[in-house]
Amino acid sequence: MSRLGELTWKQRLGVDSCVRCGRCETVCPAYMSGSPLNPKQIIAGLSDQLRLEVDRPLAIDGGDVVVGDGLLVTPDALWGCTTCMACVQACPAFIEIVDDIVDMRRYLTLSEGAPPGTSAATFKNMERAGNPWGYSPDDRFAWGADLDLPFAERGQHYEVLYWVGCSAAYDKRNQRIARSVVRLLREAGVRFAVMREESCTCESARRLGEEYLYQTAAQANVENLGAYTFDRVVAHCPHCFNTIRNEYPQFGGSYPVVHHSQLIDELVTSGRLHPAGGAGPRVAFHDSCYLGRYNGEFEAPRATLRAAGVDVVELPRSRAEGLCCGGGGGKMWFEAKVDKDVNVIRMEEALAARPDVVGVACPFCLTMLDSAAKSLGVDDVKVMDVSEVLVQAIDGPVSPAV
Amino acid sequence: MPPHDPTLTACLQPTGPLRPTFCNVPEWAQVTLYVAGLLAIGIFAYGIYRHWRVWMAGQPGAPARNTGRWGERAGLVARYVLGQSKTLERRYAGLFHTGILWGFILLFIGTALATIDWDVFRLFFATRLLGGPFYLGYEAVLDTAGLVFTVGLLLAIWRRYVTAPHHVLGAWDFVIWSLVVVNVTGFVVEGLRLAIAPVAWGGYSWVGQGLANLVFAFGGAEFIQGPARSLHLWLWLLHAAAAPRRRWCSSRRSRSPTRCTWSRCRPTPSSRTSSPSEPGPRSSRSTSRTPSSSACRGSAS
């Protein structure tokens, strides 16, 4: 979307409803970090523009182009968004600000051919190698070479298909999440499999406006998933989880999808997992936007931590008001200079709670907060996925991939 | 009270509680009210029509979540519109917002009932709606609603112009002040009316009666039957004339969006030193925000 004539009546109704209360501005992580994005400015600016254009025959010219350098909405502002949904959650007029921003990003990426920073290279990697880094697809399951991973076979029935996602497949640190999940699935005796054809969902690409790449990937993934028989998909990555759960039905792939914390919570409740209990570490839990605000799941990761005997510490901004790690909306894949990075703001907030561990339920959050810890020079507080905390309660520290 | 004065006969309630319509209001002012009222309805309808055109110029199609499920969506309206549960997520703002909303809703119903009483029941059925115990309850509820409304407005003004956090800055808006004028003149007019033509059941209009008692305490009979009556009439006219209005956009003289309400508050190009391509130091960013906010306040004239 680059002209207001391209908005649907619903989007126009939303933009026109802006009362300029500024709640979006107070919760926006990009604005906090000093990026040029101010959601209030975008929506209020569009709203003024709508009223200026209403007496013109929009059907002919579609209105002025409003997206571009020096125009009403600048690319720098649009690329600041982490799509964390905090603004939409805060908006008393229920304006779908994130959808509007992604709509305008699509214009920049697809029509103008101007994706941000180095993300064009990331798109190429996703397209060629099926992961954002461009590693070999053959190495996708190298993290489990010593685990004798069960690969899904046609005609077999599985309780759970474990969708690993690129981050835990290739990122050395995050591979330990996948190893923890496998450990827990085995401990509980769940009949599961991983899918050899698994490839990036390209969710980041979609949030960065690369709709074509996303749709191609979605079709391929849905086709591959359709070859196997399973009751549910489990994903530990909220971005994969959200995509498969809420977006794949449009491509004909409807499956029950659960986040690993939901499955673990269920396994503990039904008695299939027996954590030893005892005193765990003090864990400050950081909510993932795509699990929490997007999908309304706030309890399961906390329950997972409690199952590990953990004393869960709530951060000042948590649950529906949780602050983003700064890694959503494709922000993992390019750098933009700001006053203070979101992950550092969030990590400082978490450290103020004096935890032993900062608990997360998303590999992007883990990477972002881990790197914030490094830049703050903190080494006595670890950032861990909730599944790792639970495995540690059962076995001691999770061994890295060989 | 001189009984021969026709404008004062409307104040009399000889048969018990009955809403005194157009008390101390001469015919020319009554005609003015109806003409101005029709004009205001016309302007209001045109305003709604313009918004309607803004929406309908859009592409067709709405997300599935915005269609069907009428029962569930009606529940959401009850929760978020009537119950204001979203604005109440912030306590201070939510509280005054809810006060203003419900004060407004009750006063709107009250005004509508007054019109129905005078122009429908009286004209077409030769009877009155606002009489007896129902009228007394009506007075008590509306005085309370008006007070809640006024307190809500004052809290809102305090926040917008005194504590003034950055994010609430935006357009200078005439609406909030005109609502204060409507409420305050409403009470003063009621108080003066109860001073000019006291009734035994004035206590039901408890805010107005309080003001009437002040008039009794500080003004003699001469003041009440002289200046107080003129003041009553002029404030009554102001009460009607102050009905709120809102500018469509801060200026329609220019097509440039920078002339509009919010965009005016954007930092000027020279102060926008901190784009991500050329990051400015932190101090330059904070200075780039401050002048823009003072510019917003400066745009009040």
Chain A CB contacts of B51 under 8 Å are 16
Q: Which of A22, A41, A51 sits opposite B168 (nearest CB)?
A: A22
Mean local confidence (pLDDT), A157-169: 98
Q: How many CA atoms lie within 13 A of B166 on its CB side?
A: 19
Residue-level pLDDT at B248? 61
Q: Which residues contact residue B73 at a Cβ distance below 8 angstroms, ignoring those fewer than 6 apart?
A: none
Q: What is the pLDDT of residues B269-294, one digit of tens each?
A: 333 333 333 333 333 333 333 233 32
Domain residue extents for chain A: 4-111, 119-266, 275-395
Pick the CATH number of A4-111 from 1.20.1050.10, 1.10.357.10, 1.10.940.10, 1.10.1060.10: 1.10.1060.10
Share of chain B above pLDDT 90, in %: 60
Size of interface A-B (CB pairs under 8 A): 123
Chain A CB contacts of B50 under 8 Å are 51, 54
Taking the C-alpha atoms of residue A232 and residue A153, their distance in angstroms, rounded to an integer, is 15
pLDDT band at B4 (very low <50, low <70, confident <90, very high): low
CATH of domain A275-395: 3.40.50
Chain A CB contacts of B169 under 8 Å are 22
Structural domain for B143, as ranges? 79-166
- Look at B58 and A10 and tell me if their CB atoms are within 8 Å: yes
Q: In chain A, which residues touch B (CB < 8 A)?
A: 5-13, 16, 20-23, 25-26, 34-36, 40-41, 44-45, 47-52, 54, 58-59, 72, 74, 76, 79-80, 90, 92, 94, 336-340
Topology agreement, domain A4-111 and domain A119-266: no
**Tell me, what's the ipTM?**
0.84
Q: Which of B54, B170, B279 sits opposite A51 (nearest CB)?
A: B54
Residue-level pLDDT at A258? 98
Mean local confidence (pLDDT), A303-327: 96
Q: What is the pLDDT of residues B27-62, one digit of tens each?
A: 999 999 999 999 999 999 998 998 998 898 888 887
Q: What is the dihedral of CA A168, A169, A173, A179, to 10 degrees?
A: 80
β-pair type (A157-163, A192-194): parallel
Chain B CB contacts of A89 under 8 Å are none
- Look at A10 and B63 and tell me if their CB atoms are within 8 Å: yes
Residue B128 lies inside a defined structural domain of this protein: yes
Chain B CB contacts of A10 under 8 Å are 58, 61-63, 66
Residue-level pLDDT at A276? 76
Q: Which of A12, A36, A49 sits opposite B58 (nearest CB)?
A: A12
* Residue A58, pLDDT above cutoff 90: no
CATH topology of domain A119-266: Rossmann fold (3.40.50)
* Mean pLDDT score of chain B: 81
Task: Please indicate whether residue B262 or residue B190 has the higher confidence score (pLDDT).
Answer: B190
Taking the C-alpha atoms of residue A49 and residue A67, their distance in angstroms, rounded to an integer, is 12
- Look at A20 and B170 and tell me if their CB atoms are within 8 Å: yes
Residue B3 lies inside a defined structural domain of this protein: no
Closest Cα in chain A, distance from residue B295 (Å) = 15
Residue-level pLDDT at B294? 29
Closest Cα in chain A, distance from residue B154 (Å) = 17
β-pair type (A282-285, A311-314): parallel
SS3 readout for chain A: CCEHHHCEHHHHHHHHCCCCCCHHHHHCHHHHHCCCCCHHHHHHHHHHHHHHHCCCCHHHHCCCECECCCCCECHHHHCCCCCCCHHHHHCCCCCCHHHHHHHHHHHHHHHCCCCCCCHHHHHHHHHHHCCCCCCCHHHCCHHHCCCCCCECCCCCEEEEEEECCHHHHHCCCCHHHHHHHHHHHHHCCCCEEECCCCCCCCHHHHHCCCHHHHHHHHHHHHHHHCCCEEEEEEECCHHHHHHHHHHHHHHCCCCCEEEHHHHHHHHHHCCCCCCCCCCCCEEEECCCCCCCCCCCCCHHHHHHHHHCCCEEEECCCCHHHCCCCCCCCCHHHCCCCCCCCHHHHHHHHHHCCCCCEEEECCHHHHHHHHHHHHHCCCCCCEEEEHHHHHHHHHHCCCCCCC
β-pair type (A157-163, A229-235): parallel
* Residue A329, pLDDT above cutoff 90: yes
CA of B93: which chain A residue's CA is closest? A21
Taking the C-alpha atoms of residue A312 and residue A282, their distance in angstroms, rounded to an integer, is 6
CA of B58: which chain A residue's CA is closest? A9
- Look at B255 and A92 and tell me if their CB atoms are within 8 Å: no
**How many domains are there within chain B?**
1
Backbone angle region of A8, left / alpha / beta, with phi > 0 → left and psi within -120 to 50 → alpha: beta
Nearest in space to A382 (alpha carbons), one of A256, A251, A283: A283
Chain B CB contacts of A7 under 8 Å are 58-59
Beta bridge partners of A285: A314, A359
- Look at B249 and A52 and tell me if their CB atoms are within 8 Å: yes
Chain A CB contacts of B262 under 8 Å are 20, 40-41, 44-45, 47-48
- Strands in A257-259's sheet, in edge-to-edge order, are A192-194, A157-163, A229-235, A257-259
